[in-house]
Amino acid sequence: MTASEPFSESASKSPIAIGTDRYRMLAQAIAGQPLPLALLDLDLLEANAQAMLDRAGSLPIRLGSKSIRCVEVMQRVQALSPRFQGLLCYSAREAAWLSTQGFDDLLVAYPSIDRRDIEAVATPLAQGRRIVLMVDDAEQVTALAAQARALGVKLLLCIDLDMSMSLPGLHFGVRRSPVTTPAQTVALAQAIAAHPAELKLVGLMGYEGQIAGLQDALPGKAIKNAIVRALKRRSIVQLTARRCACVAALREAGFSLEFVNGGGTGSLESTREDSSVTEVAAGSGLYSPGLFDHFAAFHHQPALCFVLQAVRRPLPDVVTCAGGGYIASGPAGVDRLPTPYLPAGMTLLPLEGAGEVQTPVTLPQSTQLAIGDPVFFRHAKAGELAERFDHFLLLRNGAIVGSAPTYRGQAQNFF
Ligand SMILES: Cc1ncc(COP(=O)(O)O)c(C=O)c1O
């Protein structure tokens, strides 16, 4: 059969023993669609959204746009509950663009220094949209004050607080902000306050990446899991005390904050316990990619996957799919590879992994696939898959009900 033929004929010939029901349902749903494609199950997306609301207690959730990268998905999720409030963006230009797509209350999670980035947010700010920029250094503050003066706008700022934990020989956390103590936080707030016409401090963000993004229930890794959980427990105590102390110090120094943001998908249970936090940020749990499969405290549903076509059979138990080399960012390792999803029980070949033009998989003994059949994979991270596809096909009750353009499909690219 040719690639353009519907695979449903060959799928119906395939004796697939493991994961049969879901595989057949999904294969049937996408029959006739050109491959590769990205498929978003709206029922699972909504279940994940509800689970995240439950896990966050009563706090509002600011959706992390980098982990979604699809306007329609963000609109759909925000429409599910008034507790989905605002977006955590990853670039100032992105925030400016999102403001043209109907979003407001946009917090840019990473520092913006480029003059063109500030120019981009100046227009929506002048139109009354709320865009808040991130700072963690007096040098950034000086630069932003000068740019605000030149543009004639007043910039709203948030301080990024370091939430990592340093131990002898181990830095547990991410390298983001140098602002670690209450005194440093107040000093930066005062640097902002030195430019009252140009800048206003409105928020504090403390993102505990080592809790929110680090799996602690990996199969076959009992000792590592125990160590990571012990480190997490210790770190949560330390970072909660730090975030509370910095918020208190700012208040004592006369600064009134409009919000304190914390957390991510993997830390909702602990972040909500921090009384200083007024909102959590999260996004990955909506799609629930491979790197979120093994947390002790929660399990979300695999809502987003991508589908390749089996195009050759180099061995009786190996099929090779066209494309598929969608490697996730971060420290290079096998956990950044896509996860073979359906049929269940497939594995990547250790010496090939997922390649730019082909991805072979070993099939379990009881499973056969025909050339032309679809093979389902999951990306390791949430938002990056959107950079590979122009749109997500939308699945509802086992049938395709439409498609939603990704950022890429709307010709938007920010990094
Ligand atoms: C500042 C900040 N908050 C929250 C998150 C959590 O996002 P997610 O829920 O997608 O893991 C991230 C992710 O990197 C982040 O950078």
Residue 259 CB neighbours (<10 A): 19
Question: Closest ligand 1 atom to the C-alpha of 67?
Answer: 10
Ligand 1 within 6 A of CB of 215: no
Q: Residue whose CA is closest, atom 9 of ligand 1?
A: 282
65 CB within 6 A, ligand 1: no
Ligand 1 contact via 164 beta carbon (within 6 Å): no
Q: Any idea what DSSP says for residue 25? A: H
Q: How high is the pLDDT of residue 19?
A: 63
- Does residue 264 have its Cβ closer than 6 Å to ligand 1? yes
Does 109 sit in the ligand 1 pocket, CB within 6 Å?
A: yes
What are the structural domains, with CATH classification, of the chain? 3-42+300-410 (2.40.37.20), 90-284 (3.20.20.10)
Closest Cα to atom 12 of ligand 1: 264
Please tell me the pTM assigned to this model.
Answer: 0.94
Burial track 114-140 (b if 16+ CB lie within 10 A, e otherwise): eeebbbbbbebbeeebbbbbbbbbeeb
pLDDT, residue 314, reads 98
Cα 126 to middle of ligand 1, angstroms = 28
Residue nearest to atom 14 of ligand 1 (CA): 209
**Closest Cα to atom 4 of ligand 1:** 264
In the chain (415 residues long), the average pLDDT of successive 10-residue segments reads: 33 47 96 98 98 98 98 98 98 98 98 96 96 98 98 97 96 96 98 98 98 97 98 98 98 98 98 98 98 98 98 98 98 97 97 98 95 98 98 97 98 95
What is the position in ligand 1's atom list of the atom closest to the CA of 284?
10
Beta pairing class for 106-111 and 131-135: parallel
User: CA 321 to CA 371: how far, in whole Å?
Assistant: 9
